A and B are shown apart, each in its own frame.
Chain A
Amino acid sequence: MNEDQIRIMRAIFCEELSISEEELLDSTAYNELEAWDSLTHLKIVSRIEEAFSIELEVDDIIGMENFGKAKDIVGRYIIG
């Protein structure tokens, strides 16, 4: 993932989770933040798919349980 792509990912997560750039860490995880519930997760997934014109597989949507993993998973789609 290049810097532009990471910036897009960060913006989506910060907006949907209502947190600042500083608060978003690679370790920021599902269920640790009240705002990151399964419905928000689906919104994040839709926005990522739209932003990068990709379609995430079920197992990958399940795997994106923290921001770091989400970057790794989405990165594979962009390179592929």
Chain B
Amino acid sequence: MNFVEFLFASCRESEECFISGVKERVSHRELYERVERTSKWISKRYGSGKEFLLLADNSVFFVVSYLSLMRSGNIPLLVETRVSKEELSALMSFCRPVGAFMQQRLSAKAVAGLPLVTESDMPEEDVEDLRPQVGRDDLAAVVFTSGSTGTKKGVMITHGNLIANTTSIIEYLELTSRDRMMVVLPFYYCYGASLLHTHLRVGGSITISNSIFLGAVLDEIERYQCTGFAGVPSTYQILINRSDLLQRRFSSLRYMTQAGGKLEPRYIQMIVDSLPNIRFFVMYGATEATARMSYLPPEMVRTRTASIGKGIPGVHLEVLGEDGRPVRPGETGEIVATGDNIMRGYYGDEEGTRAVLKDGKYHTGDLATVDEDGYIYVVGRAKDIIKCAGYRVSPYEIENLIASMEGVDTVAVVSKPDEILGEAIVAVVRRKDGAEADAVRTTIFRECRRSLPSYKNPSYVVFLDEMPLNSSNKIDKVRLRQMLAEGELNDR
């Protein structure tokens, strides 16, 4: 079955609002008609089975483009909007796109040779229906996410993956047509996309907020009478530290979800203490698993605060030791997932795919322990990845950039816990002889701001005379993080 037909199965004639927000509003029926029209138009013009870049902020344009591409049996390539023009061109030359659906605002990033479709090019009239049948195993979308080597990996998701994960999420969150989700997470990110999918499927609705400052969302939740809110750790940390979230009383909000990295237990505690009537779901997932792999039932958030819970319906989650057997309580192993939501593989990267998909199981690279009752606790990551403001950031890319700067001898990029960002990026630098600390720091900040999107910018530059090395003679990042935590690194 085509995933988009699955999404519209029950609600396509509803006049109820599906997307609301300050800028745009569209009903279920209207959205369905626009997707029907656009998908037929795409089929007639391009056929099916083709790849298309999709680059847009959360908007009706994104939703119509995304659903129409999948509905016509074509494949959207989803990329974050802050990607640089150069990186986007490189990425597209690695794929086989035949066109690009791109918001006018972002059209300066247009890729040479790719026909562009913007808001004003969307079809107004119906054409004949040439759309092919699409099966569960057919590729639905490729979602680009940062890998640990700095290059983006294209996660290949099938129609069946999307149907399976959407069904599971609806079940454990108990979503109904009365639910309205306040969306601040981008749809090009799997967590954001899952909000769109689940609420469309149940005949519920979503409100899009694109404010300059996240604090605006609290009034909007009330104004649009949202029942749900979803965030990554930095979403909650910004709201706790910079808004009056904890003093608010909401008349419609019934639950909140958190995924995309670890939110420190003390923040979770603050939220559940201050907002006792709102159910708080701690969850765990990955793009490679379509979106969601586990959740902690809200009733347990006080007793098992640091846990990511257990596998969601349809997903078998286990923690395996190096011998491939489930670990005993207290031991550390890798989180491994099995289910119909696990990706087909990485686009054009068989080696990378083999490294994470073994015997049909997805090896997450996340290290965890389990308790006596089987609840899972993430303790670290095997891969060198930083999660800053909800984005996956590869230290490697930033190290490469900084290593070429004047006065820098060696650099290692690590993270440290941050009140706002979740994890803040720290550049640990060994200076060349004679280079001055202030000058080097200024250069690093300036050049990083110039070349990197905001979430990849270091918050701190610290110096040391000798990098600690591990047994394989590489820079020992575990030790560096320890030194940071203990205040052994300074800014001189």
A positions within 8 Å CB-CB of B: 15-16, 18, 30-31, 34-35, 37-43, 45, 58, 61-62, 64-65
Cα distance A37–B452 in the bound complex, in angstroms = 13
Please indicate the chain A residues that have their CB under 8 angstroms from the CB of B420 in the complex. 42
* Shortest Cβ distance from B216 into A: residue: A62
Taking a contact as CB atoms under 8 Å apart, the answer to whether B212 and A38 are in contact is: yes
Which among A16, A35, A39, A58 has the greatest number of chain B C-beta atoms within 10 A?
Answer: A39
Pick 26 A–B contacts, CB within 8 A, sort by A: A15-B445, A15-B449, A16-B449, A18-B449, A31-B105, A31-B212, A35-B454, A37-B453, A37-B454, A38-B211, A38-B213, A39-B455, A40-B454, A41-B212, A42-B213, A42-B238, A43-B454, A58-B215, A58-B216, A58-B243, A58-B244, A61-B213, A61-B215, A62-B213, A62-B215, A62-B216
Residues of B at the A interface (CB closer than 8 Å) are 82, 105, 211-216, 238, 242-244, 389, 420, 445-446, 449-450, 453-455
A35: chain B residues at CB < 8 Å are: 449, 454
Bound CA–CA A18/B212 (angstroms):
18
Closest chain A residue to B420 by CB distance? A42
Shortest distance from the beta carbon of B171 to any chain A beta carbon, whole Å: 33
Contacts of B244 in A (CB 8 A): 58
Which label, helix, strand, loop or mixed, suits the secondary structure of the B interface? Answer: helix
Q: What are the residues of chain B within 8 A of A62 when measuring CB–CB?
A: 211-213, 215-216
Q: Is the CB of B212 within 8 A of A39?
A: no
Q: Add 15 more A-B contacts to A15-B449, A31-B105 (CB < 8 A).
A: A15-B445, A16-B449, A18-B449, A18-B450, A37-B82, A37-B453, A37-B454, A38-B211, A42-B242, A58-B244, A61-B212, A62-B213, A62-B215, A62-B216, A65-B212
- Counting chain B CB atoms within 10 Å of each CB, the highest count among A35, A38, A62 belongs to A38
The smallest beta-carbon distance between B45 and chain A, in angstroms, is: 30
- Cβ–Cβ < 8 Å partners of A37 in chain B: 82, 453-454
Whose C-beta in chain A lies nearest to the C-beta of B390? A39
Q: Which residues of A are found within 8 Å of B454, using beta-carbon distances?
A: 35, 37, 39-40, 43
Which residue of A16, A18, A31, A38 is within 8 Å of B214 (Cβ)? A38
> Inside 8 A of A15's CB, which chain B residues have their CB?
445-446, 449
Chain B contacts of A34 at CB under 8 A?
Answer: 82
CB distance from A39 to the nearest CB of B (A): 4
Q: Complex Cα distance A61/B82, Å?
A: 22
- Closest A residue to B211 by beta carbon equals A62
How close is B231's CB to chain A, nearest CB, in angstroms? Answer: 13
- How far in angstroms is the closest Cβ of chain A from B263? 18
Give chain A nearest CB distance to B211 CB in angstroms: 6
Does A39 lie within 8 Å of B389, measured CB to CB? yes
Residues of chain A lying within 8 A (CB to CB) of residue B213? 38, 41-42, 45, 58, 61-62
Q: How far is the CB of B67 from chain A (nearest CB, A)?
A: 25
**A residues in contact with B243, CB < 8 Å:** 58
Find the residue from A35, A41, A42, A65 having the highest chain B CB count within 10 A. Answer: A42
Q: Indicate the member of A61, A64, A65 with the most B CB atoms within 10 Å.
A: A61
A61 with B242, Cβ < 8 A, contacts A37-B82, A38-B211, A41-B212 known? yes
**A79 to B215 Cα, complex, angstroms:** 25
